[in-house]
Structure 1
């Protein structure tokens, strides 16, 4: 006899009696979401909201030297700014994102955006280093609103259009990550590092008002009220119950490890001879990666046609192939530009296909599925950052490319094994 957990893992449409333990409102009832789909204009609005939210986590990267000089922080300690921001983001994934399955999501989104404005202003006005670090951690916690938005957009999407909507909204996240360095470096050079966070606070305020005015609100969900500790704990319960979540989360871990291996140490060879590029010039490389975000829309449309698994495989193959031009960086920076386009295109394809498949499994638990999936995504980003800098220190850029290619190959092999099963 097949167990319920195994049945739901192998067939996303199979009934799962454990769903009652998590929420009483099934996906096919009209009480969970508005009956109509999401227009392209609203989808793009949510995409911009995601990009603004996630960019807040990465603005500090090209500004660390300016921040250190302002507060008199030692170079060995200034890295705490990024560490605490990323740690806050991981905590937010676990502690805030699951609330999307429990409360009105539009209210949750606008509330988080409003609190993000206060956190950003606290960063800009921080009078001391300890208060700065505390405010940076708060920025990271609240930036997870992007993941609440993705889950809600999937809920609002009409049947057969979910892939396109998720692809559109997800593209904003990756573009936000890639352009954060460019925006922060440019504003920082013109008006100082504090101005970056003031500008972001103003933009986030406008976005909160736009979301409140334009995005439809869910109708009342007649779901059983779940205690908060049980709600958070159910994120790990879903890992045990859903094979789809386990497979997609591992693929996210490997894929984002690979792309972080590329992005983290690339400043080192670009800033050194013979290139000698400035921080602002290096930030412009984010524009190349942003071009790869076009893969999100294509991947979404393919997923809507039932080709999500194949799309993920093609994306993983593209990420592996992209490491070949990356290894040619010593000959020309244009090889790195090509590598960033190809690798990010592949990453977008994998990420959107993964999310599409996840949201077919347990629609009433979309926020918690997102939280679990993104926890391993964050782990991959952290692992890639640490491994790539250590490898670069010992073996240079060629060793970094070998590490990235090995990670991509592992991801492709894992996908192939899981798909055959």
Structure 2
């Protein structure tokens, strides 16, 4: 008999997704402080963000498919042990190299929120699936944006190490709540882990709409990662502000996150291809605003609201489409989509740092604009294959 998804469990998953995914992004407003601690360049310290995102992509690839084979409670138990150890190792790192390594394991273990998205889809009715995904994704995006606000403030007033110590304690408390309240799901898949992983390639080859969704998500997140990685440098160089102001820009992005619930409901009422086109148009407009806002706080704030709203609308629609088509393998298709998504983020981080060093904010904005235009082109060309 199918378990029902209560609102209390749905919001627990949403809050948990936000708190765990925040671990990935604490470093972005802190990069300047970390570079000063270890006396390294801005390009070198950006490898901390890159390593975290690559770790997340590997976690998505090797951990999340297990959601189709192993009890969610068992996965959480082992994952949280490693996660807390990685956060503490980062907090007490004595060199940039050690921090880069421990950051990889923070990213690797923080893939867990992507178990909650297919879980919400599985426990929901067809009619309520878009709403459930939207609520979980709202929590996730608020966690991403809120993490920058918190870490920017903590970094300025208490130092970046305190941020990671506090995060480790927070994860310990969160695990207790999840252990007590989260429904226990035991999947039916009986084959080996090797066959489970092999089947991922099957779904990738067989589903053209999944490949297109993965590409759209990767390109969009590459742009957003380029923005957040370089914003702290823009604030320092053009405005003379510290990490707390850079992190505070997350407040504007939260407006986009709140819109996720609305987008989830719209997915049940309107053509998804039209929602995607509108989402990408919002992304293009946001990057045009960024292009002319290198010395305007107001312009940057408006751009943040729009870029997060556009990405969130695109992201939720992508996931709703792939989950609807592959109900028997939601964790595996989510793995394909999210691995692509965060590989895009890692590439965007690298390209953003390069664009900043060579062309300053104009280069970063032009990069985001180009990526958004490419999303529109590939969608218009290949959408009929969905």
TM-score between both structures, scaled by the size of structure 2: 0.91
Contact 1:299-1:308 at 8 Å conserved across structures: no
Q: Partner of 1:266: helix, strand, or coil?
A: helix
CA distance in 2, matches of 1:65, 1:213: 39
Query: Which of 272, 293, 307 matches 1:308?
Result: 272
Instruction: Give the C-alpha shift of residue 110 in structure 1.
Output: 4.4
Change (3 A) 1:397 1:124: closer
Higher helix share: 2
Shift of the 162–106 alpha-carbon distance from structure 1 to 2, 3 Å rule, reads: farther
State whether residues 105 and 152 of structure 1, in contact with CA within 8 Å, keep that contact through their aligned partners in structure 2: no
In the alignment, which residue of structure 2 is the partner of 1:405?
A: 369
Tell me the SS of whatever aligns to 2:324.
coil
Query: Cα 1:84–1:302, aligned 2, differ >3 Å: closer, same or farther?
Result: same
Match of 2:213 among 243, 248, 254: 248
2:136 aligned to which of 147, 156, 169: 169
1:314 is displaced (CA, Å) by 1.4
Count of paired positions: 384
The reply to whether residue 359 of structure 1 matches residue 323 of structure 2 is yes
In structure 2, relative to structure 1, the CA distance for the partners of 1:398 and 1:340 (3 Å cut) is same
Query: Structure 1 132/35 Cα, relative in aligned 2: closer, same or farther at 3 Å?
Result: same
CA distance in 2, matches of 1:82, 1:331: 25
Check conservation: 1:58, 1:177, Cα contact below 8 A.
Answer: yes
Aligned-partner SS, 1:283: helix
Structure 1 gap ranges (5+) = 1-29
Match of 2:171 among 189, 204, 213: 204
The Cα of 1:236 is off from its aligned counterpart by 1.9
Q: Deviations over 1:10-45 (max 9, x none)?
A: xxxxxxxxxxxxxxxxxxxx4xxx332x23332222
What are the Cα deviations for residues 177-233 of structure 1, in whole angstroms up to 9, with x where unaligned? 222222112122333322212211222122212122222222x4443x222222222
Structure 2: distance between partners of 1:200 and 1:305:
39
1:101 lines up with 2:65 in the alignment: no
What is aligned with 1:320?
Answer: 284
In structure 2, the partner of 1:35 is: 3
Q: 1: distance between equivalents of 2:252 and 2:100?
A: 31
- Aligned partner of 1:18 in structure 2 is none
1:368 alignment partner in structure 2: 332
Task: Please give the residue correspondences for 1:138-153 in structure 2 after superposition, counting only pairs within 5 Å.
Answer: 138-153=105-120
Give SS of 2:127's match: coil
Show CA shifts across 1:45-100 (max 9, x none).
21121112111122123334544555x46436544433332222121111111101
Contact preservation (8 Å) 1:295, 1:346: no
Of 328-337 and 139-148, deviating more is 328-337
Task: Please report how far the alpha carbon of residue 302 of structure 1 lies from its aligned counterpart in structure 2 after TM superposition.
Answer: 1.3
Residue aligning to 1:45:
12
Report the equivalent of 1:259.
224
Structure 1 residues 312, 131: closer, same or farther in 2, change over 3 A? same
Q: Structure 1 residue aligned with 2:248, among 251, 267, 284? A: 284
Aligned to 2:183, what secondary structure does the other structure show?
Answer: coil
| Greater C-alpha Rg | 1
Is the Cα–Cα contact under 8 Å of residues 28 and 232 in structure 2 kept in the other structure? no
Quickly say closer, same or farther: Cα 1:386–1:138, change in 2 above 3 A: closer
The alpha-carbon distance between structure 1 residues 417 and 163, as it changes in their structure 2 partners (threshold 3 A), is same
* Range that drifts further, 326-335 or 283-292: 326-335
RMSD after superposition: 2.2
Displacement after TM superposition at 1:311 (Å): 1.8
- Once residues 260 and 282 of structure 1 are traced to their aligned partners in structure 2, the CA distance between those partners, rounded to angstroms, is 14
Q: Does 1:239 align with 2:207?
A: no
Identify the residue that residue 89 of structure 2 maps to in structure 1.
122
